[in-house]
């Protein structure tokens, strides 16, 4: 919000955007996968407006498509329906641009170029004029293609539609024709509906609310039994489970469970859920419990190996362990490291929760030698006092919390810099120092002010 107020726009070069702001911006890479997930989560909220909702997964992942063919009359009119969708989005804290049209392409274009925030745009069935006046980008083109059109002086869809089809096909390929036809409802566009979230669902409710303890555990166990039974019938295992507890007064709260591998055993599930509840206990009297399988996956009971050594590599065992650790310690605390190509040590790796999808194997950055990087890196570098032989030279003695370390050998400097557009400016000279006792440390001098810090231990 603040960035947009300062005049930052989508597609602007980072340097230009940064110059508009009074302090260096925090940058994050576009996360299409994350966008997709967020959209998928939103689907559930709009389920009452449409029997079939799909998520855009094309050049960008920004839109939800709601098929409203049979439901308009329930809401009175298309305007009323669109307005209600808009209200729901607003309540959820989203800024939404909404359009109603007779095909996906037209709705996409109208939502971006005709709708205002919270003011839905309507394109009547068969209406073509407003669409033809739109800029060429409204065709959902790759940036390169749109640019090529503009270079030819083709700026609106009307102009593009006027070019003979053969010529377009020869110059830009089949895609443009498809896009044109999809916009003008001349070609159907299949969408992939998101499966309703609550395919597997179990509910328990009682007029006599229960409190935490054995009763609660028993109720959950019974629900899990039911849910697991349904799952097993269809050879599916649970990957993500949502538990909703409704208190006597009507307040409800949720507890989630995300697993590394599909699990179908009610006992295992109960154990994991118990750990989760131990971590964040349920308080108050519970009148209703709902269990909902958010995500399931094909589950085939594995054949157990007869030999002891076989179990040594059993991947389900590892999955069980990770689930248990994640339930008690928090999923964000059970991680796999992934190296990132960034020279700044604290930014050179990511810790990805193991229950998230396995990270794609990227080309690993060039590996240092074991003597170059310490096994322990301090989260916050510690300030140290250093005596150097010459002002910019190698450290000679350093003291850390009043303990003096005589340096026997210092290797360096290894200069590590990060440009200002990555946030904070970083300019450091790193030294690997070895003390007279053989202990090894990783220290650096901040080039801006010459201050010294301890950053790691070759522990």
Interface positions with another protein (CB under 8 A):
271, 308, 311-315, 317-318, 320-322, 324-325, 328-329, 333-339, 345, 348-349, 351, 354, 358, 361, 364, 367-379, 408-409, 411, 434-441, 456-459
Q: Which residues pair with 429 in a beta bridge?
A: 415, 445
- Rounded to a whole number of angstroms, the minimum distance from the CB of residue 171 to another protein is 45
Residues in the chain: 459
Which residues have C-beta within 8 Å of that of residue 341, sequence separation ≥ 6? Answer: 348, 365
Q: 388-423 burial string, b = 16+ CB within 10 Å, else e?
A: beeeeebbeebeeeeeebebeebebbeebebeeeee
Q: Which residues pair with 395 in a beta bridge?
A: 388
**Cα separation values, 181 from 38, 104, 143, 189, 452, Å:** 29, 11, 19, 9, 64
Task: Identify whether the C-beta of residue 454 lies closer than 8 Å to the C-beta of residue 384.
Answer: yes
Nearer to another protein, 124 or 404 (CB): 404
Nearer to another protein, 374 or 413 (CB): 374
Residue 323 Cα to chain centre, angstroms: 20
Q: Mind spelling out the 3-state secondary structure of 94-131?
A: CCCCCEECCCHHHHHHHHHHCCECCECEECCCCCCHHH
Strand intervals (E) in 62-200 = 64-67, 99-100, 121-122
| 19-27, long-range: CB < 8 A, 24+ apart | 24/420, 24/421, 24/423, 24/424, 24/425, 25/423, 26/423, 27/421, 27/422, 27/423
Nearer to another protein, 203 or 304 (CB): 304
- Rounded to a whole number of angstroms, the minimum distance from the CB of residue 381 to another protein is 12
Nearer to another protein, 108 or 398 (CB): 398
Q: Which of 139, 136, 138, 171 is nearest to 156 (CA)?
A: 136
- Rounded to a whole number of angstroms, the minimum distance from the CB of residue 415 to another protein is 17
Nearer to another protein, 376 or 385 (CB): 376
- Rounded to a whole number of angstroms, the minimum distance from the CB of residue 299 to another protein is 18
Q: Which of 138, 340, 338, 355 is nearest to 239 (CA)?
A: 355
- Rounded to a whole number of angstroms, the minimum distance from the CB of residue 345 to another protein is 7
Torsion of CA 74, 79, 84, 87, to 10 degrees: 180
- Rounded to a whole number of angstroms, the minimum distance from the CB of residue 435 to another protein is 7
Nearer to another protein, 32 or 317 (CB): 317
- Rounded to a whole number of angstroms, the minimum distance from the CB of residue 183 to another protein is 44
C-alpha 8/C-alpha 162 separation (Å) is 35
How many other CB atoms are found less than 10 A from the CB of residue 245? 21
Nearer to another protein, 39 or 388 (CB): 388
Nearer to another protein, 72 or 274 (CB): 274
Per the structure block, which two tokens stand in for 33?
A: 């996968």
- Rounded to a whole number of angstroms, the minimum distance from the CB of residue 287 to another protein is 29
Nearer to another protein, 120 or 381 (CB): 381
Nearer to another protein, 138 or 334 (CB): 334
- Rounded to a whole number of angstroms, the minimum distance from the CB of residue 373 to another protein is 4
- Rounded to a whole number of angstroms, the minimum distance from the CB of residue 366 to another protein is 10
How many other CB atoms are found less than 10 A from the CB of residue 449? 6
């Amino acid at each position: 919000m603040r960035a947009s107020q300062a005049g930052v726009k989508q597609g602007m070069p980072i340097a230009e955007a940064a110059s508009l702001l009074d302090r260096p911006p925090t940058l994050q890479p576009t996360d299409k996968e994350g966008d997709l997930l967020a959209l998928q989560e939103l689907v559930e909220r709009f389920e009452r407006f449409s029997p079939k909702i799909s998520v855009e997964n094309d050049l960008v992942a920004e839109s939800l498509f709601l098929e409203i063919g049979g439901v308009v009359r329930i809401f009175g009119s298309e305007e009323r329906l669109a307005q209600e969708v808009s209200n729901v989005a607003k309540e959820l804290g989203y800024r939404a641009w909404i359009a109603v049209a007779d095909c996906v392409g037209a709705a996409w274009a109208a939502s971006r170029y005709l709708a205002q925030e919270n003011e839905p745009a309507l394109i009547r069935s068969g209406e073509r004029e407003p669409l033809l006046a739109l800029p060429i980008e409204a065709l959902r083109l790759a940036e390169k293609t749109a640019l090529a059109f503009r270079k030819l002086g083709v700026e609106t869809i009307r102009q593009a539609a006027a070019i003979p089809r053969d010529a377009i096909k020869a110059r830009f390929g089949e895609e443009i024709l498809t896009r044109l036809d999809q916009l003008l409802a001349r070609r159907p566009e299949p969408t992939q509906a998101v499966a309703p979230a609550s395919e597997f669902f179990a509910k328990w409710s009682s007029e006599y609310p229960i409190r935490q303890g054995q009763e609660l555990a028993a109720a959950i166990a019974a629900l899990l039994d039911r849910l697991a039974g349904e799952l097993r019938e269809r050879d599916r295992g649970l990957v993500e489970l949502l538990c909703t507890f409704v208190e006597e007064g009507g307040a409800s709260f949720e507890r989630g469970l995300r697993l590394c591998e599909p699990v179908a055993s009610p006992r295992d599930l109960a154990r994991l859920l118990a750990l989760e509840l131990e971590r964040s206990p349920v308080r108050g009297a519970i009148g209703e419990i709902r269990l909902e399988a958010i995500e399931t996956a094909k589950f085939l009971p594995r054949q157990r190996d007869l030999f002891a050594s076989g179990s040594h590599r059993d991947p389900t065992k590892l999955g069980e362990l990770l689930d248990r650790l994640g339930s008690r310690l928090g999923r964000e605390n059970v991680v796999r490291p992934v190296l990132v190509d960034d020279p700044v040590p604290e930014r050179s790796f990511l810790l990805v929760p193991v229950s998230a999808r396995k990270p794609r194997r990227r080309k690993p950055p060039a590996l240092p030698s074991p003597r170059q990087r310490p096994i322990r890196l301090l989260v916050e570098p510690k300030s140290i006092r250093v005596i150097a032989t010459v002002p910019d030279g190698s450290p000679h003695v350093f003291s850390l919390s009043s303990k003096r370390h005589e340096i026997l050998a210092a290797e360096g400097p290894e200069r590590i810099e990060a440009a200002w557009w990555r946030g904070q400016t970083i300019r450091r000279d790193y030294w690997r120092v070895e003390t007279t006792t053989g202990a090894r440390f990783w220290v650096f001098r901040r080039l801006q002010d010459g201050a010294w810090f301890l950053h790691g231990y070759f522990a």
